[in-house]
Structure 1
Amino acid sequence: MNKLQKLDLGNVPQELKLMLEWVNEQNNEEIDWEKFQAIDWDFFVQLAIHHRLYPLLATKIKDDPRVPENVQTTLTNLFKQNTYRMLHLCAEIEGLGQLFKEKGIRSLFLKGPLLAEDLYGDISKRTSGDLDVLIPIHQLEQTENLLIAQGYQKDEYIQSLLNDWKWRHHHFTYYHPIQGTKIEIHWRLNPAPSREPSFAELWDRKRRSLLTNSVVYMLSKEDLFFFLVTHGARHGWSRLRWLVDIHKLTQQGLDWRRILKQLRKYQVCSVGGQSLILSQQLLKTNITEEMRSFFKGRRPLKLAEGAVYYVEKMVHLHSDPVPKEVAEYHAKHLFSLMPNRQKTFYLLSTLYPYYTDAETLALPTKFHFLYFPLRPFLWLWRKTKKKPSPKVEL
């Protein structure tokens, strides 16, 4: 095993460390319970829910006399609810896959039950709140009309000026009020200015899922590693479910040379190294000779050290309002993930008008081009008035 410099995990809660011992797939008898004498079991349950690890834990702690009965009952009930939820999503995938095929819409299902079956061999062992589907950008309108015809409603939270939605964002969200299903339709894996494979490239390397009777496709294992690494890093690995995904994926005989070539091409090799360092030190992932190239230089370790912040705390990035301290730290961490070229593009992108510029000064559509020279002045005006700056999705 490649020897990696140790991360400082001294401030990681004992409850989370115990949780990771179970998730590590070790025999429970091997757990050194002398280290876990003062476990706050209520906090343990909170962490299990936050990190979305309760499906894995429910079966691990069942009938364990060292775990309070109420904790076992809570996690078991959550496990059952998740199983029903995943079965419902399977049925939705079945229907959507058939519809997309009939309408000629090329689609790649990114996560959900397909990912659970692929990585864990059981849809009940991973949670999923929605379905994520990647399609070519030119089929967005057709897909939206199809979903609306099926009873879905679009969440109009994205406000755009001068078509900046195409690169500032990467998906639209649709919700079915009766079925309670949410679908995110992606035209990119991640928002710009990140670089990534084109849809055509991903489509050429696709795999067919065997979970459904309908023909549905998902990413190749190597493209899946690229997606899961960049997605998890962008969210600070604030939910360890994403890191467990990486741990599981590394056990599936990946073509590491192809992965390394791809990560280098899109300048995210250090981000791949970050994920493997975290996975190795938190989940004891086996680091093979082929993985050593991901750890060259100081940057992967530095990025991993930066992510420990999210492991030490129970960070909620998806619940507004995000505390100021967390928001500021996350913005800096996101910037640190970018290679120099991407940082340059990001800084330049702040000169492109935002929808808040139109809210500050309304201009007729034919004069929207004036927002480019006016943007610095409108930004300064908002700062003077102490209005919040626009939220940028990275």
Structure 2
Amino acid sequence: MNNNYEGDLSMLHNELILLLELTNGNDTVTIKEELFLNIDWNKFLQLARHHRVFPLIYSKINKINNEFIPSHVVQTLYQDYKINTIKMLQLSGEMGEVSEYFTENSVNLLYLKGPVIANEIYGDISLRTSKDLDILIEKKNYNRVEKLLLNLGYEKEEHSITFIDWKWRKHHEAFFHPEKKIQIEIHWRLHPAPTKEPSFNELWKRKRESKLTGYPVYYLGNEDLFLYLVAHGSRHGWFRLRWLADIDQMVRKDEITNQDKIILKKFQYYHLGKQNVLLIGQALILASLLLKTPLSKDKHTYTTGKKSRKLANLAITNIVEIGNTELHNIKEDLNIAQGNYFYSKIRKSFSFNLYKFSIKSKIQKGIFILTLLTPSSKDIDTIRLPKPLFFLYFPLRPFLLFWRKINKNVN
């Protein structure tokens, strides 16, 4: 079915257009030769790494006539692909070991991302990147889980928690194994509070089992996984195409059912009525516009909301501008002076935060405003004040927040 969505794609440069063509899940389409012309291949490689889609691109160019791609580009993509495959195999082994150890100690866990998700979505762990293992647990088990990970040789990443705020601001903690060079993020929520979401027990009942490793590991049920990926990508403005590629693959497999509408309503994202689901609509519109994801008639019911379309266009701006910011030669590319570059960063930061504010519910917006006014441990890391002067963090909060935003490098 043709997807007739309006979107401002004029900002897409040649390198990003080619990247999108090589990222989508359609293996049968012949890519037009003109798309390979006038390409800055160094910029293309940087974008492929930033968007974490180089495994998909390498896999695709091996199936098409790649005579237009310089050999050094193919070789670089192959090296990145090989390194990622080794990393995913390492994470797979660790995933099985951790699952077995936790089960022996009567702790249930669900994998949110990582090799098990790559295998489920792409059928091949080498086609998706993962820098760590994301594990969901019951919050009441957190202290036990921390001890178990410490027993396995992991070290907890320490933060300045002078303002005791992690319990309501954070939804995960990171642990790192110094010898294995593996990071594990322990989540006690799918998303930051105060979003409504299913309890761990609900998710556990709908879990699926993977035998990717020698020991059974468990991960989210189909609808729960889809909605988690939609909400995660939307919350981050889809600035990495890898998240959208996941949606593209799941839709092409026709893994979305009416059940996800019921679950989504519990997630507090059901803003605009029965057939106007905000975040699913945004994700499907983006996938259709950028990755040419085919949408069947029932999928179009998600995409009719004006707000979904508006947020999709804002996300396209995020994808383009944050991707450009990641390029090492951003100042030369834009040919702008230092002052204008500084102004550009402020504008992009404001635009991105406006986008993040727009996807929140009324309750979330209220709490977000209170959060902005409340000092955090990051403020202490930004500027150290003696304890008797801690009260100054309240009036300084807006300035410290602004300073961090304009100096932040997106990871």
Give the counterpart letter for 2:125 in structure 1.
I
Following TM superposition, by how much is the alpha carbon of 1:180 offset from its aligned partner in structure 2, in angstroms?
A: 0.5
Match 2:357 to one of 332, 335, 343: 335
Give the counterpart letter for 2:351 in structure 1.
Y
Give the counterpart letter for 2:20 in structure 1.
L
Deviations, residues 197-251 of structure 1 (Å, cap 9, x unaligned): 1111111111111212212100001000111011111111111010000111123
The match for 1:165 is 166
Shift in CA distance, 380/31, structure 1 to aligned 2, threshold 3 Å? same
- The separation in 2 between residues aligned to 1:173 and 1:69, in whole angstroms, is 39
The match for 2:108 is 106
Give the counterpart letter for 1:334 in structure 2.
K
Shift in CA distance, 136/60, structure 1 to aligned 2, threshold 3 Å? same
Give the counterpart letter for 2:57 in structure 1.
L
Following TM superposition, by how much is the alpha carbon of 1:279 offset from its aligned partner in structure 2, in angstroms?
A: 0.4
Tell me the TM-score normalised to structure 1 length. Answer: 0.87
Give the counterpart letter for 2:119 in structure 1.
E
Match 2:282 to one of 255, 274, 290: 274
Tell me the TM-score normalised to structure 2 length. Answer: 0.84
Is the counterpart of residue 254 in structure 1 residue 255 in structure 2? yes
DSSP-derived class of the 1:30 partner = coil
> Do the aligned partners of 1:94 and 1:214 also contact (CA within 8 Å) in 2?
yes
> Do the aligned partners of 1:52 and 1:241 also contact (CA within 8 Å) in 2?
yes
- The separation in 1 between residues aligned to 2:76 and 2:133, in whole angstroms, is 25
The match for 1:148 is 150
Following TM superposition, by how much is the alpha carbon of 1:347 offset from its aligned partner in structure 2, in angstroms?
A: 2.4
Following TM superposition, by how much is the alpha carbon of 1:27 offset from its aligned partner in structure 2, in angstroms?
A: 5.4
> Do the aligned partners of 1:277 and 1:304 also contact (CA within 8 Å) in 2?
yes
Please tell me the root mean square deviation across aligned C-alpha atoms, in Å: 2.7
DSSP-derived class of the 2:258 partner = helix
Q: How does 1:68-107 map to 2 (within 5 A)?
A: 68-107=70-109
DSSP-derived class of the 2:174 partner = strand
> Do the aligned partners of 2:55 and 2:129 also contact (CA within 8 Å) in 1?
yes
The match for 1:379 is 394
Give the counterpart letter for 2:152 in structure 1.
Q
- The separation in 1 between residues aligned to 2:22 and 2:375, in whole angstroms, is 49
Structure 1 stretch 204-213 or stretch 125-134: which is displaced more?
204-213
Following TM superposition, by how much is the alpha carbon of 1:343 offset from its aligned partner in structure 2, in angstroms?
A: 1.2
Deviations, residues 164-216 of structure 1 (Å, cap 9, x unaligned): 31221111001111111011000011111222211111111111112122121
DSSP-derived class of the 1:217 partner = strand
Match 1:128 to one of 103, 127, 130: 130
The match for 1:22 is 22
Shift in CA distance, 129/158, structure 1 to aligned 2, threshold 3 Å? farther
Match 1:301 to one of 291, 298, 309: 309
Give the counterpart letter for 1:216 in structure 2.
V
Structure 1 unaligned residues grouped into runs of 5+: 364-370
- The separation in 2 between residues aligned to 1:27 and 1:203, in whole angstroms, is 35
> Do the aligned partners of 2:55 and 2:77 also contact (CA within 8 Å) in 1?
yes
- The separation in 2 between residues aligned to 1:86 and 1:59, in whole angstroms, is 16
> Do the aligned partners of 2:239 and 2:318 also contact (CA within 8 Å) in 1?
yes
Q: How does 1:287-326 map to 2 (within 5 A)?
A: 287-313=295-321, 314=323, 323-326=345-348
The match for 1:46 is 46
> Do the aligned partners of 1:132 and 1:186 also contact (CA within 8 Å) in 2?
yes
Aligned residues: percent identity? 39
Deviations, residues 39-78 of structure 1 (Å, cap 9, x unaligned): 1111111111111111111122247211100001000111
Q: How does 1:229-268 map to 2 (within 5 A)?
A: 229-268=230-269
The match for 1:367 is none
- The separation in 2 between residues aligned to 1:29 and 1:346, in whole angstroms, is 44
- The separation in 2 between residues aligned to 1:249 and 1:28, in whole angstroms, is 17
- The separation in 1 between residues aligned to 2:112 and 2:125, in whole angstroms, is 14
The match for 1:221 is 222
- The separation in 1 between residues aligned to 2:219 and 2:400, in whole angstroms, is 43
> Do the aligned partners of 1:153 and 1:174 also contact (CA within 8 Å) in 2?
yes
Give the counterpart letter for 1:262 in structure 2.
I
- The separation in 2 between residues aligned to 1:341 and 1:235, in whole angstroms, is 19
- The separation in 2 between residues aligned to 1:381 and 1:123, in whole angstroms, is 46
The match for 1:202 is 203
- The separation in 1 between residues aligned to 2:402 and 2:227, in whole angstroms, is 31
> Do the aligned partners of 2:25 and 2:252 also contact (CA within 8 Å) in 1?
no
Structure 1 stretch 124-133 or stretch 190-199: which is displaced more?
190-199
> Do the aligned partners of 1:12 and 1:311 also contact (CA within 8 Å) in 2?
no
Structure 2 unaligned residues grouped into runs of 5+: 270-276, 329-341, 406-411
The match for 1:211 is 212
- The separation in 2 between residues aligned to 1:189 and 1:26, in whole angstroms, is 30
